Chains A and B, each alone.
Chain A
Amino acid sequence: MAYSELIKNFSHVRAYLRSFYVYGFQHRSEYTQKSSRMYDNERRRVESWLGKYLTFIQDKEGRRVFISLDSRDIPQNPLFSAFRAKSFTPTDISLHFHVLDILQTENSLSITDLMNSLTARLLDFNGEILPDESTVRRKLKEYVALGLLCTGKKGRETVYSLPDSYSDLEKWNCAAAFFSEVLPMGVIGSYIQDRMAERCQFFRFRQHYILSTLDSEILYSAAQAINEKRLITYSHNNQNLKVLPQKIYIGTQTGRQYLLVWSPKRRKFSFQRTDQISNLKIDEAFDVPQDLEEKLKIYQSHAWGVTSCNNQSCTEHIEMILSIRAGEDYLLNKLINEKRCGTVEQIDETRWLFRADVYNTLEMVPWLRSFTGSILELKGSNSVVIKRFWKDLSDLANLYCSGDTGKSGEADV
């Protein structure tokens, strides 16, 4: 098939965009999941969509392609461009403009009248596109479902018309510009911005993870299933799972998005990373047990992050004492603002105690390490995690302070 810069299925390009954006160290020969020709086509498409954001570096092993940008510098996510590359047929685009134009002039028409108007116009072009009535009917049905057309009755006949136009869209310009970057499925906000006479460009976003937009279709289906209390099925690590989605979890420090789901089969909650989900389908409505909401609240109250655990009736305890001296208010603020399900108490003038009971203390380690320089004590019921924390610190000291002398000791576990 001839190359086209448009694509039919968005899921094919997700992995390439991720790889170009997050990793950026791979050469052409390292993309082994699909053929080299497919890599060439996808790379060419991404270059066509993203232009200046795609960078190339030639080294002795070949050419590396990557997307390099500081998202803080730009008012709009460039990856939204990928959503504007859906392929279509000549009939699709021809009907789109002619049908909407005919109904702008005629108010409401039956399928017969519409066909007559269309035929008169298209014959003007030697009739290369002259769709039959069933094709037009299908398109009209699709446009009614999208909200682009309305149906009504004139006598016994179904008539088609345009919906009432909305004249105050400009009032949403700045709100759409802001929320399209910070809310799930923000690409829809960018579609709305496409309709504005001039885009609002007054916002910037600090530590802004733009890649999550690639999972918008997954979140769209998940949100629908949550709203309608429906089960979903999807593939994850070559397994097919059937679960009830409950919440969308978003990491503001990783850009990752997760579904918190309830498995009716295993009777457990778990998290699924949305970028590892494929083939998601919405299934039947689920008769939600009465106590599920209460169980969810309890589960959430001990979830530090998004690590699933098998034993959800058992938590791990952790305690950390920090030294916070005068002039280190920023450290205290950090502790208080980032404590999540933990608690903070002042022991004396300079010592503060953090305590938490969570399902998995291992996932707290990066956060605990962010207090390096101020940790007086660290204790916990999971001794493996505590040992690892101190071992990592010891390894760090070996990496950076190998010239230092005099400090040694035993792990306080």
Chain B
Amino acid sequence: MLFHEIYGRYYQVTANILKEAVRGNLTRGKLNAMIHSQAFSESILTMPENLVGSRWSLIREDLSTPLKNEPHMPLTILEKRWIKALMLDPRIRLFEPDMEAFSDVEPLFSPDMIVYYDRSAKGDDYSDPLYVSCFKTALAALREHRKLKIRWKSSSSTAAALTSHEAEAIPMYLEYAEKDDIFRITLQDEMNQLTVRISQITECEMTSVAVPPDALKLKKETRESVTFELTDFRNAKERVLSHFSHLEKETKRLDDLRYQITLKYNSSDESEMVTRILSFGPVIKVTSPESFTELIRKRIRAQLSMKNCSCDVTHAQK
């Protein structure tokens, strides 16, 4: 039973309100504020009158409760089985959980049950002790709000040899790329935002420098937008919109077959966006900005110039 009221928002908020009632701290103002901030946006219309009085028989009119203990719900079998499934995942090495727990239940699923059929074959190596150690240090620094000192090696498009870098900066978050099965860490110093693959880090040390809370505001990467027309043949509407559904977007129907779609993406992802848009072929026509259209054009021209490429552009519309 995955969809059950015991996991529901109403039960959760009620438990929190009952905690206050058991402690003798509940007031009408507090009750309403908790519903307002913790439940759904319209819960405030019905929840208070149900909660106080005989309807749910949990809180008396004077805001006391017959409950003697702060509410506590044991873990369900479903939750234990899901946690048990995590223990079989190779990425669990990156965390320090209690691997002896829940010997009385079977995992809900196992890694061999799941196939990520279009995932890159070269994901991170979660059995590498250096990798695991760097990841754990980064996570600890995030948890403890400390600066991180790292050294890493990376290649550039111009030089064959790896070059070394180092930085001391505030860790902001760990980003996981599902398609590539890799982790990166994003850090920030006074001037720059920096993103480094965990697998490229050779040394990682948590410093004693505490990060003030106001330093944790992330400078957002510049967002670009691209607008294209989509022609819905070969089920293109479903394929394209599903593929780009993870991005902020606006979709507009132009006529029975054509749609105008505007996507926002991080500026550093531009060449990837060009490749992704090209992969849909002629069902997509980028209309703006011109700079993006030019990148597409460049790729098509490069293809047309290939020795054996055989395209007929004699019908090109003027």
Contact = CB atoms under 8 A, between A and B. Distances in A.
A203 B176 CA distance: 7
Contacts of B55: 90, 128
B211 interface: no
Contact of A372 (B119, B121, B249, B300): B300
B310 A410 contact: yes
A400 B293 CA distance: 8
Interface in A134-174: 145-148, 162-163, 165-166, 168-169, 171-172, 174
Interface in B261-314: 264, 266, 275-276, 278-282, 285-286, 293, 296-314
Interface stretch (B93-101, B162-170, B198-206): B93-101
B114 A250 contact: yes
Given A24-B249, A171-B96, A393-B311, A147 B7 contact: no
Interface in B134-159: 139, 142-143, 155, 157-158
Interface in B67-82: 67-69, 71-80, 82
B1 interface: yes
B12 interface: yes
A5 B40 contact: yes
Contact of B5 (A88, A205, A330): A88
Contact of A129 (B57, B173, B282): B57
Contact of A202 (B102, B174, B247, B251): B174
A249 B117 contact: yes
B113 interface: yes
B66 A121 contact: yes
Interface string A256-292: 1000100000000000000000000000000000000
A129 B248 contact: no
Contact of A226 (B7, B113, B253, B286): B113
B7 A205 contact: no
B133 to A, nearest CB: 16
Given A68-B248, A252-B119, A25 B114 contact: no
Contacts of B250: 24, 57, 66, 68
B109 A175 contact: no
A376 B306 contact: yes
A97 B120 contact: no
A249 B311 contact: no
A375 B303 contact: yes
Interface residues of B, number: 134
A22 B2 CA distance: 24
Interface residues of A, number: 152
Contacts of B158: 327
B246 A370 contact: no
Given A25-B252, A407-B311, A94 B7 contact: no
B222 interface: no
A205 B247 CA distance: 12
A253 B303 contact: no
A343 to B, nearest CB: 12
Contacts of B79: 188, 191-192
Interface stretch (A99-107, A231-239, A311-319): A99-107
Contact of B14 (A97, A127, A404): A97
Interface stretch (A32-40, A108-116, A179-187): A179-187
A138 to B, nearest CB: 14
Interface stretch (B24-32, B83-91, B124-132): B83-91
Interface string B235-269: 00111011101111111110000010000101000
B109 A162 contact: no
B13 to A, nearest CB: 10
Chain A to chain B: the 8 pairs with minimum beta-carbon distance, closest first: A147-B77, A395-B282, A373-B302, A128-B54, A88-B5, A125-B57, A392-B281, A402-B316
14 contacts: A5-B42, A93-B10, A94-B56, A96-B6, A146-B76, A163-B74, A188-B2, A192-B79, A209-B178, A217-B3, A300-B115, A392-B281, A396-B300, A409-B310
